[in-house]
Amino acid sequence: MGARGTARILAGAGPRVISNTPMPVRHFVKYTFLKVDPAWRRLEWERRAEDKREFIAACDDFADGHLLRAFSLVGTRGDADLMLLTQAQNLERIHEFHVVLAQSGLMKWCEVPYSFLAMTKPSEYSEESRLEVRPAHGKYLFVYPFVKTRAWYALSADERWRIMQEHIKVGREYPSVDLNTSYSFGLDDQEFVVAFESDNPADFLDLVQRLRTTESSSYTLRDTPTFTCISCSVGRALGGLDGAALTVTETVDG
């Protein structure tokens, strides 16, 4: 979990003290997963093109001033085709975007099989955390909702801090993998939404397998469903629904 801005771990400095002062830079983060009704693909080409244009217009409007990222899940999941990641300081702005989006022709044929609402927040265990989701900088985003056991929260803050340092140390051995954690306590069904970004799925797989043997792993209650999301433009994500594939630049076995 490598090149992350001003990464400084205060190893040995003990748990951080979190103040209750206002944090104006905290943002809402919304993960919206979409599944298109197969019947939509049976519509005329022109109808589908218009439906997609309206969807893109809604995204463009929001993206003018806010972060919006699109991902395709075609070929990686069976229960979702597309994921939109949006961010705003104001929850009403997230709401308004989804209202406008719902007016697009495409959304009249979509379900939302998964939806995660979260906020950014400074980490108790690391100063590497960010208060904003960063623009696209990796080919893949690996996302899952995360809930810890109550036994975890019964540990002392010192003990939790110690255990997390091992977790963070292992992560640092995989510098090609970058982490975004956001918080959902009380806002949605999970406690955290964890999103790893990487160009190299094999590295990420190896990291996750290795983390299973750390002490912190034993306090995981739930870390599924797990989504492999292919980063792309909104236009390309929509193209993946009924035809145009992402450009493929294969090396060996293409």
> Within 155-214, which residues bind a second copy (CB under 8 A)?
157, 183-189, 191, 196, 201-202, 204-209, 212-213
Residues 6+ apart with CB under 8 A from 87: 27, 28, 29, 30, 66, 67, 68, 132, 133
Contact segment (CB under 8 A) with a second copy among 4-12, 53-61, 164-172, 238-246 equals 238-246
Binding mask 93-132 for a second copy (x = CB under 8 A): xxxxxxxx-xx---xxxxxxxxx-x-x-x-----------
Residue 65: half-sphere exposure toward Cβ, Cα within 13 Å: 9
**Contact between 250 and a second copy (CB under 8 A)?**
yes
CB count in 10 Å sphere of residue 182: 27
When the beta carbons of 165 and 228 are compared against a second copy, the nearer one is 228
Contact segment (CB under 8 A) with a second copy among 1-9, 53-61, 90-98, 163-171 equals 90-98
Q: Candidates 88, 168, 193, 238: give the one binding a second copy (CB under 8 A).
A: 88
Extract the tokens encoding 22: 């206002």
Q: Candidates 5, 39, 46, 135: give the one binding a second copy (CB under 8 A).
A: 39
When the beta carbons of 125 and 204 are compared against a second copy, the nearer one is 204
Contact call for residues 147 and 56 (beta carbons, < 8 A): no
Q: How far apart are CA 19 and CA 145, in angstroms?
A: 26
Residue 165: half-sphere exposure toward Cβ, Cα within 13 Å: 14
